[in-house]
Copies of this chain bind each other. A is one copy, B any other.
Amino acid sequence: MKKKLVNNPDDVVEEMLAGVVAAEPDRYKKLKDQNVLVRADAPVDKVALVSGGGSGHEPTHGGYVGPGMLDAAVAGDVFTSPTPDAVYEAIKAVDSGNGVFLVIKNYTGDVMNFEMAEDMAEADGIETAHVVVNDDVAVEDSTYTSGRRGVAGTIFVHKIAGALAAQGASLQEVKEIAEKVVANVRTKGMALYPCRVPAADESTFSLEENEMELGIGIHGEPGTERTEVKSADEIVNNLVTDVIEDLPFSANDEVAVIVNGMGGTPLMELYIANRKVNEILGAKNIDIYKTFVGEYMTSLEMAGLSVTLLKLDDELKELLDAPTAVDLLK
């Protein structure tokens, strides 16, 4: 028996979704025969938002289903893109005739399968649009990606596009605000310890006892650098500096911050990291409008963190602050 809280490794996604619905039966329903969670009150008379991807990144994406954020989340197998069929069923379940907007993290399989699902839905007369999130500044191409990877910045797309959709915006308006978030959000991550995939015999990668990896992806894809372990301040300085220089973020910009745990990082360490994020941004006169510290997009029990910055204007601030029933991003 693998040293994890699982039963048959083949059943982890299905059993997880059963546990989610059991915990909050008034919030979720699961589609029959598909690993898709939808709002219990779907379809709602507005543009619907659908996201998804491989499992193992919880609370991404099921944890963001609810009023003011997503209408459905499609759960693939662990670290595996969901099938076009599953995405298509999600689209049909939440469409109210106002169109469906898909938030896709930039992984080759996700982009391909979500676009195939769009074709299937369009053939049914359902209007769709999508955005591809590619916020990871670390590497240009990677194991599963052409172009930059989509990581924790995706949560800001869920929140802000979800808020605009809840206000009754059109599919085109939702697409435009999502693109605006993508244009203004950047992330970089790192890992100290790898995760253990339920069905695999080994970790997806390994690190020596005094080694860490900067720029790593949320499936353990290669990053930019393997080095000996540095202090929290040095690590955060590396991540934040690369994020700032990429957009670039400048003095007097207002930003929202996510200090995101990869799953096996104590909350204590995320707050130690946030102290340094705050100090670096302060020294550069970049104003912090709002900070989120916690586990937003994980990689099973990988130990490590990512730092996300989103450059804000009045429109984005208002939507970021808009009410949502989703605890994690209130």
Residues in A lying within 8 Å of B, measured CB to CB: 1-7, 12, 15-20, 22-24, 55-56, 58-59, 63, 192-193, 195, 209-210, 212, 228-233, 235, 259, 263-278, 288, 291-293, 295, 298, 300-301, 303-305, 327-328, 330
CB neighbours (8 Å) of A276 from chain B are 19
Query: 5 A-B contacts, Cβ less than 8 Å apart?
Result: A4-B266, A12-B272, A19-B276, A22-B288, A265-B301
Given known A-B contacts A6-B232, A232-B6, A266 and B301 have beta carbons under 8 A apart: yes
Q: A24 to nearest B CB, angstroms?
A: 7
| In contact, A228 and B6 (Cβ under 8 angstroms) | no
CB neighbours (8 Å) of A1 from chain B are 210, 228-231
CB neighbours (8 Å) of A15 from chain B are 232, 271-272, 275
| In contact, A269 and B5 (Cβ under 8 angstroms) | yes
Can you tell how many copies of this chain the complex includes?
2
Instruction: Give Cα A233–Cα B5 distance, bound, in whole angstroms.
Output: 8
The residue on B at minimum CB distance from A233 is B7
The 10 closest A-B pairs by CB, nearest first: A19-B271, A19-B275, A5-B269, A22-B278, A58-B267, A19-B274, A23-B291, A264-B264, A16-B271, A5-B232
Instruction: Give Cα A288–Cα B26 distance, bound, in whole angstroms.
Output: 13
| In contact, A12 and B268 (Cβ under 8 angstroms) | yes
| In contact, A4 and B192 (Cβ under 8 angstroms) | yes
Q: A270 to nearest B CB, angstroms?
A: 8
| In contact, A6 and B327 (Cβ under 8 angstroms) | no
| In contact, B295 and A267 (Cβ under 8 angstroms) | yes
Instruction: Give Cα A17–Cα B19 distance, bound, in whole angstroms.
Output: 33
| In contact, A16 and B268 (Cβ under 8 angstroms) | yes
Given known A-B contacts A16-B268, A271-B16, A271-B23, A235 and B5 have beta carbons under 8 A apart: yes
Task: Find the residue from A2, A24, A264 having the highest chain B CB count within 10 A.
Answer: A264
The residue on B at minimum CB distance from A329 is B327
| In contact, B301 and A232 (Cβ under 8 angstroms) | no
Instruction: Give Cα A293–Cα B28 distance, bound, in whole angstroms.
Output: 15
The residue on B at minimum CB distance from A278 is B22
Instruction: Give Cα A306–Cα B324 distance, bound, in whole angstroms.
Output: 29
CB neighbours (8 Å) of A266 from chain B are 4, 56, 58, 195, 263, 298, 300-301
| In contact, A20 and B300 (Cβ under 8 angstroms) | no
Instruction: Give Cα A307–Cα B89 distance, bound, in whole angstroms.
Output: 35
Instruction: Give Cα A330–Cα B5 distance, bound, in whole angstroms.
Output: 27
| In contact, A6 and B300 (Cβ under 8 angstroms) | no
Instruction: Give Cα A266–Cα B278 distance, bound, in whole angstroms.
Output: 27
The residue on B at minimum CB distance from A22 is B278
Q: A298 to nearest B CB, angstroms?
A: 7
| In contact, B229 and A3 (Cβ under 8 angstroms) | yes
Q: A295 to nearest B CB, angstroms?
A: 7
- Partner of A229 from the list B2, B17, B18, B293 (CB cut-off 8 Å) is B2
CB neighbours (8 Å) of A22 from chain B are 274-275, 277-278, 288, 291
